[in-house]
Structure 1
Amino acid sequence: MGTLGLHALNRALIERQMLRERAGKSALATIEHLLGIQAQEPKSPYVGLWTRLEDFRPQELEDLLTTREAVRILLMRGTIHLVSARDALALRPHMQLRLDRELQSGPFAKRLRGLDLDAVAEAGRTILETTPQGTADAGKQLKELWPDREHTVLGNALRNKLALVQVPPRGLWHRSGRAVCTTVETWLDAPQQAMDRRELVLRYLTAFGPATVMDAQQWSGLTRLGEVFDELRPELVTFRTEAGKELFDLPDAPRPDADTDVPVRLLPEFDNVLLAHADRRRVIADDRLGVVVGGKPTVLVDGFVVATWAVTKERTVEVEYIDDLPPSRRKAVAEECDRLQDWIRT
């Protein structure tokens, strides 16, 4: 059992996240490899795919959304993700327990007390499957059945109790819109069927390993994954972090040398590279986590976050540095920003 330092973990993550070299894969294959792309901001997945793929064009993802091969749905950590249709049906059942607990302890818990949430969910299902609409709009109709409750509270209950997809034009590049929802079962004309938890862990390691049990639980929002790792132990290899924590990985997964060169990469808001581990220092220092929480797109130099970027009204890409970089590194950042700027304007 060897020891892997932060730079070795960084290089493994960069490689598996397709950030060392842009890949010649399809958008759908990439979305599945990554086990979803964080998508609170409707256009984030487009930038996330551009930074990972050769010749990616927004129309490819728009087509996936309009043909229902990919969907926007509430998943890991109670956040909106872009996933393939297959993964939406397979991942969403795993999230229900966490979402139920959120209703019991979250900001709406007191105002939901004493309410039959299953009855609310079934009434909401009928509404949303008949006419896709916003959860707040559905909540106004539910208020006719529960007049003593606020419509926003009823709508939030639907967000957690039902597996809802945000239907196009929400999430399209050239035109978006408000979040209009229906159930995943109706949209995809298929039932939910949970993937085996062992498959979930193996696919997590494929995209984010090597990782600790706590890393996988941070990414997914699930608990008791230690039992799954123990079941899989004969199929995995193990390492230690410099702090002595046990890391698990797939035997044949890429683990590049710690000094492997990596290019400048621009990440969109809330990219899972920054959120998929309990210890995020493999890509971002602890004192910089505020830029992620604040929803700022980030710049990776030598595999680590050193700056943030933004698109101006004139559709130029501007950078705000956290570190004082040498001129050669700033030149590489500027060149990558120019590439993104040209892509946005096409």
Structure 2
Amino acid sequence: MASRTTHPVLGTRALNRATLARQLLLRRAEMSATDAVAHLVGLQAQNVKPPYFQLHARLAGFRPAELAGAMEAREVVRMVTLRSTIHTHTAQDALALRPLVQPARDREVNQFRKGLVGVDPERLAERARAFVEAEPRTMGEIRGDLLEQWPEADPQSLSVAARCLLPLVQVTPRGVWGRSGQVRLTTVESWLGEPARPAQPVDDVVLRYLAAFGPASVKDMQLWAGLTRLKEAFERLRPGLAVFRDGNGVELFDLPDAPRPDPDTPAPPRFLPEFDNLLLSHADRTRVVAPELKGRTWTANQAHRTLLVDGFVAGLWKKDGDLVTVELFGRASAADKEEIVAEAELLVTGMGEEDGADGEGNGEGSGGRGRVRFGSIHG
């Protein structure tokens, strides 16, 4: 095996442009919402709105109604998968990716074993499955049913166990733009009317990760997936991969024919929602977030909406009707501000009003031009 010193070095801007290209953020793609969700291997979705904004930043002509329709048609679903967080996945990925990460979810249950003394995990899973497959239930209802069987158990531990042991999906109208709904859960097999599938082979998922997030290290993918011991998969694939290293000497893998644009390729401004996977899927995030801005896109455990300028995080933003408020971390040129205003207008016309906490609005765009208010963030 060749020494790592023989591998070409990719600087920060080269990594930035390569990642933006895979993420469909250098230019909007002519792609359906469902195809984009598959290409991106899911969209992180703790909240209802972020998946819609993620696709608006990436797809030409996207309107929220497209993803909402796919969700109502059960072509995409919301469920806990990667990193034990809720993601929007295609139906196929929901069936095949959840089994891949199931061992990690099983280990998560073990962290709550003190609250599960006397509880048989297999019996818990069987009882909870029967309960939610009879009809979709809230987590409170699931917990209450389990407490009838195990009254001495810790209620929160029972909730975690059900969430981890079963592939539960949030049924519509939850997650549908323009509608609100309490979180109700059933199994992915029941919701989709399909039997459980074997886990997608990890080697295949490595290749899909690199297609959407590469070039990347083993540690990068482990963080993205919430899995460990992936080095063996990368080593199996090494003969067919391109290998690089970053400025710190970390080995990076990539698909040989994947796009790696010139570092000087223009990158237009993009408004990203909270929890966008672009900012959460690499152990070293300096390809998108400058070191001096580390931690500035979060308050406690809440992520903020971020603005990319020249491909890098440059500020935060909020939207109130047709007013987009941009708070910059530093100075922006007049040309940059002009591009930011144009992108904000696309945001307003494409995404429409944002009434209500669960993504209310008609999903057809406002038809009006957006207004932009600039501010700055100091310190």
TM-score surpassing 0.5? yes
Whole-angstrom distance in 2 between the partners of 1:104 and 1:118? 13
* SS state at 1:4 partner: coil
Query: Which residue number in structure 2 is paired with residue 206 of structure 1?
Result: 211
Deviation at 1:53, TM superposition (A): 0.7
Alignment match, 1:178: 182
> Is 1:304 aligned to residue 308 of structure 2?
no
CA distance in 2, matches of 1:196, 1:95: 11
Match of 2:78 in 1: 72
Shift of 1:321: 1.4
Question: Partner letter of residue 345 of structure 2?
Answer: D
Which residue does the alignment assign to 2:347?
340
> Sequence identity, in percent?
46
| Aligned amino acid, residue 71 of structure 1 | V
For the Cα contact (< 8 Å) 2:307–2:317, is it kept in 1?
yes
Give the Cα–Cα distance (whole angstroms) in 1 for the partners of residues 329 and 13 of structure 2.
19
**1:267 to partner: Cα distance:** 0.7
1:231 to 236, 239, 242: 236
Counterpart position of 1:12: 18
| 2:145 pairs with 1:141 | yes
CA-to-partner distance for each residue in 1:30-53, whole Å, 9 max, x for gaps? 111100111111111111111111
The code of the aligned residue for 1:260 comes to T
Alpha-carbon distance between aligned partners in 2 of 1:168 and 1:290, rounded to the nearest angstrom: 34
CA contact (8 A) 1:165 1:183 kept: yes
2-structure distance, mates of 1:99, 1:284: 29
Aligned to 1:331: 338
Letter matched to residue 327 of structure 1: A
* 8 Å Cα contact 2:64-2:351 kept in structure 1: no
**One-letter amino acid of the structure 2 residue matched with residue 179 of structure 1:** V
Contact residue 236 and residue 250 of structure 1 kept, 8 A: yes
* Corresponding position of 1:27: 33
Say if 2:282 is the partner of 1:277.
yes
Instruction: Note closer, same or farther for the CA distance 1:290–1:177 as it changes in structure 2 (3 Å cut).
Output: farther
Return the alpha-carbon distance in structure 2 between the equivalents of residues 231 and 310 of structure 1.
Answer: 45
Q: Distance in 1 between matches of 2:212 and 2:31?
A: 15
Alpha-carbon distance in 1 for matches of 2:168, 2:57: 28
Amino acid at match of 2:104: R
Shift of 1:155: 2.1
CA distance in 2, matches of 1:43, 1:125: 28
Shift of 1:203: 0.4
What is the letter of the counterpart of residue 255 of structure 2? L
CA-CA distance at 1:103 after TM superposition: 2.0
SS at match of 2:314: strand
When residues 311 and 207 of structure 1 are mapped into structure 2, their CA distance, relative to the original with a 3 A threshold, is: same
**Alignment-mate amino acid for residue 3 of structure 1:** V
Task: Give the secondary structure class of the aligned counterpart of 1:336.
Answer: helix
| Cα deviation 1:79-134 (Å, max 9, x = unaligned) | 010110001111001111111222222xx443224422221111111100101011
Give 1:315 deviation, angstroms.
4.8
Query: Contact 2:319 / 2:325 at 8 angstroms: preserved in 1?
Result: yes
Determine if the alignment matches structure 1 residue 39 to structure 2 residue 45.
yes
Amino acid aligned to 1:103: V
**What secondary structure, in the 3-state scheme, does the structure 1 residue paired with 2:176 have?**
coil
Distance 1:196 1:290 in 2: 37
SS at match of 2:227: coil
Residue 171 of structure 1 aligns to a residue whose secondary structure is coil
Amino acid at match of 1:176: S
1:55: which partner in 2?
A: 61
- Post-superposition shift, 1:310? 1.3
Q: Report the equivalent of 1:111.
A: 115
Count of aligned pairs between the two proteins = 343
Partner residue of 1:193 out of 198, 221, 225? 198
- 1:8-65: per-residue Cα shift (whole Å, max 9, x none)? 0000000010001111111111111100111111111111111111111212111111
Mean CA deviation greater in 150-159 or 229-238: 150-159
CA distance in 2, matches of 1:181, 1:198: 31
